[in-house]
């Protein structure tokens, strides 16, 4: 299946732990994104990479560190997890070529920090 | 930076009625305006989009209008069906080169049978 995939789908962890979320796309896109959706459903961009280069870095605590080993993968590592980090994290991808910039979202990772 | 306001936050209609969701944006350089539908527990999915050189676009029962002068755009859904029930997000892409999408806060649409 051509898609954006994320692992894990659910992540439950204790405060202070370090965790990672992985994202992969096989759509041939050159740009990938991380979004955070909070309990009020607000979708906010966190990071974006274009061909492994960071192009968007919103005001996110430096406990969050994205890493793009190649243009098909964008992982998110979170250090010292806090209660406020609980949210659904969506990965997305798009192509910057041409007129259309549709972003394709992954299924989301629901992170619960206890 | 870009700021996108979306109204209403909740909308309840009877099946067969029309639904309209409105958004305003602040950055006059924004040039791409997509609408995403998110069903409960699912990922956001694009349903329609419009570029700044077009005033209106229609795809079957959904249409989007854009008024660049007033910096607002709207989603129109006609002949609503229960499966249209979801959260709808508008978004605007800034005119810079970083292709950043700023989303509105979403509208929970409920279509009552």
Give the pLDDT confidence of B57-75 residue by residue, as tens digits: 999 999 999 999 999 999 9
What's A52's DSSP letter?
A: T
Structure tokens at B5: 């306001």
- Give A-chain residues touching B103 at CB under 8 angstroms: 42-44
Q: What residues 73-102 of chain B have any CB closer than 8 A to a CB of chain A?
A: 87, 89, 93, 98-102
pLDDT at A66 over 90: yes
Cross-chain Cβ contact A42/B98 below 8 Å = no
| Per-residue pLDDT at A1 | 65
Residues B81, B12, A110, A2: is their CA dihedral positive or negative? positive
Name the percent of chain A lying above pLDDT 70.
Answer: 95
User: Which are the contacts of A53, defined by CB distance < 8 A and separation ≥ 6?
Assistant: none
The model's confidence at residue A101, banded by pLDDT at 50, 70 and 90, is confident
B104 φ/ψ angles, rounded to the nearest 5 degrees: -75, 175
CA contacts within 13 A on the Cβ side of A85: 27
Q: Does B65 touch chain A (CB under 8 A)?
A: no
Cross-chain Cβ contact A99/B51 below 8 Å = yes
Task: Give chain A's mean pLDDT.
Answer: 92
Q: Is the peptide bond before B8 cis (omega within 30 degrees of 0)?
A: yes
Q: Which of A42, A56, A99 sits opposite B100 (nearest CB)?
A: A56
The model's confidence at residue B53, banded by pLDDT at 50, 70 and 90, is confident
**H helix intervals, chain A:** none
pLDDT at A100 over 80: no
| Per-residue pLDDT at B23 | 98
Cross-chain Cβ contact A43/B89 below 8 Å = yes
Q: Which of B32, B43, B103 sits opposite A101 (nearest CB)?
A: B32
């Amino acid at each position: 299946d051509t898609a954006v995939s994320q692992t894990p789908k659910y992540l439950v962890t204790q405060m202070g732990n370090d965790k990672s979320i992985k994202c992969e796309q096989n759509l041939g896109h050159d740009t990938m994104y991380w979004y955070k959706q909070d309990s009020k459903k607000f979708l906010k961009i966190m990071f974006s990479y274009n061909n492994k280069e960071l192009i968007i870095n919103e005001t996110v605590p430096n406990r969050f560190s994205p890493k793009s080993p190649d243009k098909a993968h964008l992982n998110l590592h979170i250090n010292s997890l806090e209660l406020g980090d609980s949210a659904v994290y969506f990965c997305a991808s798009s192509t910057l070529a041409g007129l259309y910039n549709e972003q394709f979202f992954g299924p989301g990772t629901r992170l619960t920090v206890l | 930076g870009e700021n996108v306001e979306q109204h209403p936050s909740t909308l309840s209609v009877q099946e067969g009625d029309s639904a309209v969701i409105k958004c305003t944006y602040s950055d006059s350089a924004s040039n791409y305006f997509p609408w995403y539908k998110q069903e409960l527990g699912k990922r956001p999915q694009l349903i329609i989009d419009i570029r700044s050189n077009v005033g209106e676009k229609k795809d079957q029962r959904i249409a989007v209008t854009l008024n660049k002068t007033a910096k607002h755009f709207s989603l129109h859904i006609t002949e609503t069906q229960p499966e249209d029930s979801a959260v709808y997000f508008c978004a605007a892409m800034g005119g810079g080169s970083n292709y950043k999408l700023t989303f509105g806060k979403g509208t929970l649409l409920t279509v009552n049978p």
